[in-house]
Amino acid sequence: MVSNDSDRGGGAGKESHKPRIGITTYLEPTIWGVWERDAALLPRVYLDSVVAAGGVPVLLPPVGTDPTVLELLDGLVIAGGCDVDPASYGAAQHPETVDTRPGRDEHEAILIRAALDADLPLLAICRGLQMLNVTLGGTLQQHLPDRVAHDEHRPSPAVFGQTEVKVEPDTLTGRLFGDRSTVACYHHQAIDVVAPTLQVTARAGDGTVEAAEVTGHDFAIGVQWHPEENPDDLRLFTALISAANKAARRNQ
């Protein structure tokens, strides 16, 4: 494990390390081989995306939460996953809100706040964007088809929808994606009331918030889509690694 600043690239004559990117994980009942136990897990596509962009993935399970772990990291990814517990934003539970994990919500909220306080580069994906919004004081639309009257954001179980998003100019999102992009979505929840410090930077044609950035930070962005599902488009992960390198040099 890392134990001193020289290991992080600050020592004279030492080669800088690849950026270490923490990724939050699921804690789920899991079966492998002869075993049936709770396990921390994460789809491999997240790991591959970080590695392909030039980083080293570090898994952050939702147990034993300690925000000081971020001192060992150069960037943070809040991964997708289950529905956010509506109690975390003061709402009653919708019938379509299922499989919530309040412990994971609390874990990720702690890490989000710590990352923003430290100005650590932050990428929040799908549920991650929802957690970013809730952590900063926003709320969620618990079942998006109630509002948009279609299922195109989550066409069927384990099938990603293809969503065209319109991107705001003069934003980080705009610099990465131009004015429009087609992205892979799989969600039935979305941002409702936008948190005060979030700037919406992309929307789907039906008005659904698809990206947002935290004002006052160089790299704190959330997307409602799943960039890890497209290995030929590493723009978000490459930008995260670039921001992590800059932050690491700044902190040497």
Query: Hey, what are 219's tokens?
Result: 């790299």
The question of whether 226 is a catalytic residue gets the answer yes
Q: What distance separates the 2 farthest-apart alpha carbons in the chain?
A: 60
Inter-axis angle of helices 102-117 and 127-135, nearest 10: 70
d(CA 245, CA 197): 25
The question of whether 143 is a catalytic residue gets the answer no
Catalytic residue among 126, 153, 210, 213: 126
Query: Cα separations (Å) of 31 from 28, 37, 38, 100, 191?
Result: 10, 7, 8, 20, 33
The question of whether 126 is a catalytic residue gets the answer yes
Angle of CA points 16, 20, 24, to nearest 5°:
175
Q: Is 130 helix (H, G, I), strand (E, B) or coil?
A: helix
Q: Residue 105: enclosing H or E segment and its boundaries?
A: helix 102-117
Catalytic residue among 153, 187, 188, 226: 226
Q: Residue 162: enclosing H or E segment and its boundaries?
A: strand 161-167
Catalytic residue among 210, 213, 228, 229: 228
Query: Cα separations (Å) of 65 from 4, 58, 68, 107?
Result: 21, 14, 9, 6
Strands of the 56-60 sheet, one edge to the other = 56-60, 20-24, 75-78, 122-125, 220-223, 209-214, 198-204, 161-167, 180-185
Residues with catalytic roles: 126, 226, 228
